[in-house]
Amino acid sequence: MAAINYSDKIPNNVNLANDRTLQRALEHWQPHFLDWWQHLGPKDFQSADVYLRTATSVDADGWATYGAVKMPQYRWGIFLADPVAERKIGFGDNMGQPVWQQVPGEFRSTLRRLIVTQGDTEPASVEQQRLLGHTCPSLYDLRNLFQVNVEEGRHLWAMVYLLHAYFGRDGREEAEELLARHSGDADKPRILTTFNEPISDWLSFYCFTYFTDRDGKYQLKSLAESAFDPLSRTCRFMLTEEAHHMFVGETGIGRVVKRTLEVMKELGTEHPARIRAAGAVDLPLLQKYLNFWCSSSLDLFGSEISSNSAANFANGLKGRPDESQYEDHVLRGAQLKLETPEGVQDVPMLNALNEVMRESYLKDCEIGLKRWNRAIERAGYAFRLSLPSPHFRRSIGSWVNVPVTPEGKIIPREEYDKRIGEWIPTEADRAFVRSLMQRVVEPGKMAGWVAPPERGINNLPVEYEYVKLS
Ligand code: BYC
Ligand code: FE
Ligand code: FE
């Protein structure tokens, strides 16, 4: 079951050759995908040899096989985790019943919407990152960018497979639309706001992979609980790839902190202007980037009080991440105390599940901060990085447009508008960060604003030529 068939045009472990109609439909979509990749994928590196990992089976020893690949020749395909025998629905009103191998008619449009929303983010992120190759801080980073990009392309395949296989003609139309919407497009933008934000520098890329890919981890974990078994199996395999994306973010920010601390030590000052003059990212500037991407990513969990989340859970479509760690899997009658701008409210737990997820996500976000702050402390500085309050700069839910500081204090609107540039990057901050983004492509060399990684990829040295430019 686990072996992937690479002799087919579309690599897969779903026995695609046995379903001619589906195979033909996907083979019809494939050139549209490749065309999208050529036009909106990484700009100008399509003929470079990139040291990429490709899945050759979904089990532990086969899913990461490394070798030099030209990106357009990457074997994008359809890989589902092995089925769990006799799997039962693990939460909601139908708990204990067998999971579904087909889509129940009454949940068809909701499931399609969830799959389309998930699928939309994957190519969106590739579009957002398409120019970053031009300003890579090293070949090691360039390779990681492209690894993330090809895997997000594969995540699109994962959702398109579900749309084609289980949603008939509507599904095929949605699959085309996934290539027709574009990040930041005025007429046809991507569905979720974060995926329309430009990622025009590598500091943003590290923050995006730290915060936004981590939303991916949490959404995929909750969809992995779904009663719709093909969705669950698809998401379980996607999660194995996701870990690397967050690794890129966490180590990327960690390397920025490390380099900044070196510069602070060399100069004997913490003064932001002096740090900047030396070509490094001062810690208050990094904090602004964290505030921006964290608050944007918090919106991706939806409203604190949501009837969608209640229905999705009760019907078994979407669980909580790691559902089995909870005691109550039905939640009828359960309540949650929720902080709103009007004070603390008692809300039915079912309607507050977006907030439950957001809270576990924020706990996971803390892990990197602890590590970065330990480095700052060890270097002997009092500065500490922190996550902004979940009420800061929210565009979705109860805290929309409420003027809240990153510390969580409600302040007058006028003061907020005056001070926002202290909390998120200003145009001048962004211009400074852009000025640091000088391309470095000599094997083993790093840009001056970021420390080298502790080790290379797959036990290779940091100096390895991870991308052979042609
Ligand atoms: N921007 O009841 P509400 C990833 C819409 S990241 C714009 O508050 P609900 C990745 C919402 O769609 C993971 N619109 O929330 C990372 C709804 O509209 P409709 C992506 C938003 O429905 C990096 C309305 O507001 N996966 O994989 O409970 C690189 C009211 O909704 C936003 C998923 O998101 C927003 N931020 O939850 C690559 C999983 N937030 O339906 C990849 C699938 C809400 O009334 N999606 N709205 O027209 C979902 O589970 C849910 O759609 C959401 C929203 C969690 C997004
Ligand atoms: Fe993804
Ligand atoms: Fe990702």
Q: Residue 192 falls within a domain, yes or no?
A: yes
Three-state secondary-structure class, residue 167: coil
Q: How many domains would you assign to the chain?
A: 1
Instruction: Give the CATH number for residue 384.
Output: 1.10.620.20
Determine if ligand 1 sits within 6 Å of the CB of residue 444.
Answer: no
**What's the pLDDT score for residue 339?**
95
- Report the interhelical angle of 108-128 vs 168-180 (nearest 10°): 20
If you measure from the C-alpha of residue 438 to the centroid of ligand 1, how many angstroms do you get, rounded to a whole number?
35
Contacts of 271 (CB under 8 A, 6+ apart): none
Q: Looking at residues 313-327, what average pLDDT do you find?
A: 97
Q: Looking at residues 199-210, what average pLDDT do you find?
A: 98
Q: Residue 21 falls within a domain, yes or no?
A: no
Q: Residue 8 falls within a domain, yes or no?
A: no
Strand pairing class (65-70; 49-54): antiparallel
Q: Residue 223 falls within a domain, yes or no?
A: yes
Q: Looking at residues 278-296, what average pLDDT do you find?
A: 98
Determine if ligand 1 sits within 6 Å of the CB of residue 241.
Answer: no
Residue pair 127/40 in contact by the 8 Å Cβ criterion: yes
Q: Does the pLDDT value for residue 294 go beyond 70?
A: yes
As a whole number of angstroms, the distance between CA 284 and CA 243 comes to 28
As a whole number of angstroms, the distance between CA 132 and CA 434 comes to 11
Q: Which atom of ligand 1 is nearest to the CA of 121?
A: 42
pTM over 0.85: yes
pLDDT digits (tens, 9 = 90+) for 335-382: 999 999 999 999 999 999 999 999 999 999 999 999 999 999 999 999
If you measure from the C-alpha of residue 153 to the centroid of ligand 3, how many angstroms do you get, rounded to a whole number?
10
Residue 59's pLDDT band (boundaries 50, 70, 90)?
confident
As a whole number of angstroms, the distance between CA 262 and CA 85 comes to 54
Residue 2's pLDDT band (boundaries 50, 70, 90)?
low
As a whole number of angstroms, the distance between CA 76 and CA 68 comes to 15
Q: Residue 5 falls within a domain, yes or no?
A: no
Residue 1's pLDDT band (boundaries 50, 70, 90)?
very low
Please identify every residue whose CB atom is under 5 Å from ligand 3, which is an ion: 213, 216, 245
**What's the pLDDT score for residue 105?**
98
**What's the pLDDT score for residue 409?**
98
DSSP single-letter state for residue 394: -
The CA radius of gyration of the chain, in Å to the nearest whole number, is 23
Q: Show the tokens assigned to 119.
A: 């699928």
Q: Which atom of ligand 1 is nearest to the CA of 312?
A: 28
Q: Residue 16 falls within a domain, yes or no?
A: no
Domain that holds residue 426: 26-468
Q: Residue 132 falls within a domain, yes or no?
A: yes
Closest CA to 159 of 193, 195, 104, 120: 120
Q: Which atom of ligand 1 is nearest to the CA of 218?
A: 13
Q: Residue 330 falls within a domain, yes or no?
A: yes
If you measure from the C-alpha of residue 451 to the centroid of ligand 2, how many angstroms do you get, rounded to a whole number?
27
In whole numbers, what is the pLDDT of the chain averaged over residues?
A: 96
